[in-house]
Amino acid sequence: MAARKSRHLNMIFAIAQKDISLALKDRMILGVIIGVFLLILPSQLLPIILKNESTPLAVIYGLEPTAIANGLTHLPDTSAFSVKSVPDLRDEIASGRSSIIGLVLPEDFSVRVATKEKINIDAYVTHWTEPEDASQLEEHFENKINELTGSPIDITIVDDQVYPDEDTRGLQVMFILQLINAVMTITLILVPQLIITEKETHTLDALLVSPATLTELVIGKGLVGIFYAAIAVSIVISMNMKIIAHWPLLIVTVFSGIILAVLTGLLIGLLFGNYQQATITMWFFGLLAIAPPFIILILTAELPGILDTIINWVPSGQLANLFLMSLMKSVEKQTAFLGLASIWVVNLILFGLTLWQIKRQMK
């Protein structure tokens, strides 16, 4: 029994190793891999590019914040803008940019400026802001506001744990969309292509008369998809590590999404005999993977109740919600569990359909 299991595992890993290396030599498959990575990398390099814009930015709330915001903007090496509420302030500073601080002006700000009294200002920074950076921002804006008003300024950080929430629209949205792209797209395209290539080149028949079984072949192809998806996911995550609040939820969600994409790709590859037949189905599932997260994260218009429910409970919609939850201050355990459970129900259905298709083709 142990020897048989060892033989199966060795065969599966041999097939996966062969396909991982061959994927880099096959022009069509290599084109797919490069294309997906080109979709991912530009947006993920954006935060690095923005770091060159290291100008300290203040988001200001108060009774009359516009004048001080305009004054700060006209000073060298400083930028600022005003918002209408503290929740808006928190959303803006949680949008993902570095060198940003939220400032809440006291109600008697104008009076204290006129009398040159000391002004105490409450400040907010994100949970990923380093203490040293927070201190530099405090000092910078104390000096700049003093320069504008002539009053002594004391900025005190009252909350250094600001997190994004479901209403935050910033670099987190780009991170989630690209993470779903990395999890789903490369696998949905690559895995069917690997199986269909074997069929079109008639190497599948040769493999099946070798010691390899169709089951081992299919699992091996799935491992290749997992390998390349893991690389793409690692690139996206490595460029956004600072904003992640709940690693266990993120990792479990990534794994669930990759398995979903692999099983879908395997089923497509087994169902169709050539790439042309599979193309429409692949693009349909690709659209189904990208459209719900885009609607959830980007569109602000209210949708009809039924449509909104469908979009949120489609597996890719649940992935978007779970990824967003992994960035927020707290995790609603019941909501997270239900979301993961819904994805794994679909995974089990796809697993059953894949097994059925394997048995059908082995007859």
Residue 82: beta bridge partners? 60
Long-range contacts of 327-330 (CB under 8 A, 24+ apart): 327/163, 327/164, 327/172, 327/175, 327/176, 327/243, 327/244, 327/245, 327/246, 328/163, 328/164, 328/165, 328/166, 328/245, 328/246, 329/127, 329/161, 329/163, 329/165, 329/245
Kind and range of the H or E element at 77? none
The neighbour count for residue 287, using CB atoms within 10 Å, is: 12
Residue keyed to tokens 């690692």:
234
The CA distance from 294 to 316, in Å, is: 10
The residue count for the chain: 363
Query: Is beta strand 57-61 parallel, antiparallel or unpaired with respect to 100-104?
Result: parallel
Q: What is the pLDDT along the chain (363 residues), one digit of tens a residue?
A: 566 667 667 777 777 777 777 766 666 566 666 766 676 666 556 555 555 457 899 999 988 777 888 898 888 888 899 999 999 999 999 886 678 999 999 988 988 888 999 999 999 999 998 899 999 999 999 999 999 999 999 999 998 889 998 878 777 888 898 889 888 877 888 888 877 877 766 555 555 545 556 777 788 888 888 888 888 888 888 888 888 999 999 999 999 999 999 999 989 988 887 777 788 888 888 888 888 998 888 876 677 888 888 888 899 999 999 999 999 999 999 999 999 999 999 999 999 998 888 778 766
Whole-model pTM: value is 0.85
The CA distance from 61 to 53, in Å, is: 23
**93-94-100-102 Cα dihedral, nearest 10 degrees:** 40
The CA distance from 240 to 232, in Å, is: 13
The CA distance from 177 to 298, in Å, is: 10
Long-range contacts of 337-344 (CB under 8 A, 24+ apart): 340/252, 340/253, 340/256, 342/313, 342/315, 342/318, 343/256, 343/257, 343/260, 343/315, 343/318, 343/319, 344/256
CB 60, CB 82: distance < 8 Å: yes
How buried is residue 160: exposed, middle or buried, by Cβ count under 10 Å (0-12/13-18/19+)?
middle
The CA distance from 289 to 61, in Å, is: 39
Phi-psi label, residue 68: left if phi above 0, alpha if psi -120 to 50, beta otherwise: alpha
Phi-psi label, residue 192: left if phi above 0, alpha if psi -120 to 50, beta otherwise: alpha
CB 231, CB 24: distance < 8 Å: no
* 167: its two tokens: 């209403």
The neighbour count for residue 333, using CB atoms within 10 Å, is: 9
